Every structure is written in structure tokens, then in C-alpha cells.
Amino acid sequence: MDYSEISVLIVEDVPEMLGLLEEVLSKTPGFRVSGLAKNGFEARLELLKRRPDLVLLDEVLPGEAGLDVLKDITQDGPPVILITGMEEVSDKIPPGALGRISKPSWESLEKDRVRIRASILRLLGRGP
């Protein structure tokens, strides 16, 4: 893996949040958005085409659970970090996921950029 830049596939079904996540990560040093997917089917296609270093996976997807997608991705794929907008989240991390981070908001974009970067690097074992 190239440590100067981490390519990320974002899997998120809500178009506004998908755009926000792309905005946050594309302007965060050390990250490059390599693909976007709105569901598990698109995520699997993007994984084959793009070979990202990391997947940010929404836990709640239409058609199939994010955890089902997680199982498929982690069999031979890159590390996965779950993203959630839920207020009350279990502390338990499902098998195959490195961890979970909260989604950004338009009100705190700069703070979220710093928070998300630090969280991802920590979960990848590259930060405090």
C-alpha cells in the first residue's frame, strides 16, 4: 500500500451524504476517492475495477444489509471501516470491520475532515 495516499471507495446510498463524504475525503490530505457506490452491487463492481486501499461502508444500505456486503468485501478485499449516522450505535464492531466512524455534517465540515482523517489513520494503525 502506498503510504503517501490512501485510495478510498465510499459506499453510501443517500446521494447528499455520498457527495458530502466525497467532498470531505477528496480535500483531506493523504486520501484519494477512487470510487463511489450506492449499494452492495455497485460496491462489488467498483472493488473489482478500482482495487481501493480502503472501503468506507454505510451500515444501512437498500436491498441488503451493509454487514452482508462487509462479509463479501473482507474475504479477499481491502480493509473496511463502517460509517454511520445513527445516534445510538453498538460498541461491538462486526467481524471484518476495522471500526466505525460517524458521518460528517455540513455544519462542521472542517472539524469532520480532521476527525475523519484521524479516525481512519488510527484504525489503519498509522496514528495515535
Q: Of 68 and 1, which is predicted with more confidence? A: 68
User: Tens of pLDDT along 34-73?
Assistant: 999 999 999 999 999 989 999 999 988 888 777 788 888 8
What is the C-alpha separation between 123 and 128, in angstroms, rounded? 9
Q: Of 76 and 112, which is predicted with more confidence? A: 112
- Residue by residue, DSSP assigns 50-61 as H--SEEEEES--
* H-assigned helices in the chain: 15-26, 40-50, 66-76, 109-123
Percentage above 90 pLDDT, the chain:
52
Reported pTM = 0.89
Instruction: Look at residues 41, 102, 32 and name the one whose alpha carbon lies nearest to residue 69.
Output: 41
User: Tens of pLDDT along 104-119?
Assistant: 887 888 888 899 999 9
Instruction: Please give the domain boundaries of the chain with CATH numbers for all domains.
Output: 6-123 (3.40.50.2300)
